[in-house]
Amino acid sequence: MSYKIIAALGDSITNGYWDSNFSGWFGRLAARLSLERPQAFGFNNCSQNGDRICDAFHRFGAEVMTREVDILLIAIGLNDLIRSSEADSPLDLSPHLRAEYWNRLLDAAAKNCGRVVVFDILPVRENMMPCTEGNGLTMFWKNSDIVEYNDQIAELCASRGIPFVRRYHRWIERDLAHYYFDEAHPNEAGHTLLAEKVYKELTTLGVI
């Protein structure tokens, strides 16, 4: 039996922010795999609240590269699409800059990790926009920006043969009030569902 390290690279959603026990979908995935196949996997969640794709690229070098990762799960991007208070205000990162950092990250990950799987950005609850964070700043997210960004990431992954898992269109049809704590972060029910879907996708892809 081969021992493999699974790591996640993402933002507050991947980090389990606002989950009831802060384990998130990655922690639930780890718990399930540890129960089904004891001592077959090690787990490292290298995600950080507030991270953008530029932060993820640097975190990859600082944290992922030191862990000899066999399977890297990347789920990040919503913070790249922040608009300040108004729907027509500029994006936090331009499409060109986003592509630059995604290209760097995907090339480095493909070269240094055995398997890489990228997950799309989930929808937000637009009826709660703009939202006010703990620092008092108002922020605005648009689902149309998310759809466009998901397509951009999908194209970059396809050019490298890296699997890109789309979940957005199924999630937008759900009652997000049941699965979200706030405008964008999943609650316990949301993370439980995400963990189940990630497990199935990784199984289908033959990653686990």
200: its two tokens: 């199935």
Q: Is pLDDT above 90 for 98?
A: yes
**What's the whole-number mean pLDDT along residues 34-61?**
96
**What's the whole-number mean pLDDT along residues 133-148?**
87
Q: Is pLDDT above 60 for 71?
A: yes
Bridging pattern class, strands 138-139 and 115-119: unpaired
Q: Is pLDDT above 70 for 122?
A: yes
Which tens digit of pLDDT belongs to each residue from 74-85? 999 999 999 988
Q: Which residues of 86-117 are buried (b: 16+ CB within 10 A; e: fewer)?
A: eeeeebbbeeeebbebbebbbebbbeebebbb
Band of the pLDDT at 134, cuts 50, 70, 90? low
Q: Which amino acid is at 13?
A: I
Residue-level pLDDT at 142: 96
Residue-level pLDDT at 77: 98
Residue-level pLDDT at 137: 78
Whole-angstrom distance, CA of residue 118 vs CA of residue 202: 11
Residues in CB range of 88: below 8 A, 6 or more apart: none
Band of the pLDDT at 138, cuts 50, 70, 90? confident
Q: Are 5 and 70 in contact (CB under 8 A)?
A: yes
The DSSP code sequence of 117-157 is EEE-PPP--GGG-SEE-TTS-EEB--HHHHHHHHHHHHHHH
**What's the whole-number mean pLDDT along residues 167-174?**
97
Band of the pLDDT at 92, cuts 50, 70, 90? confident
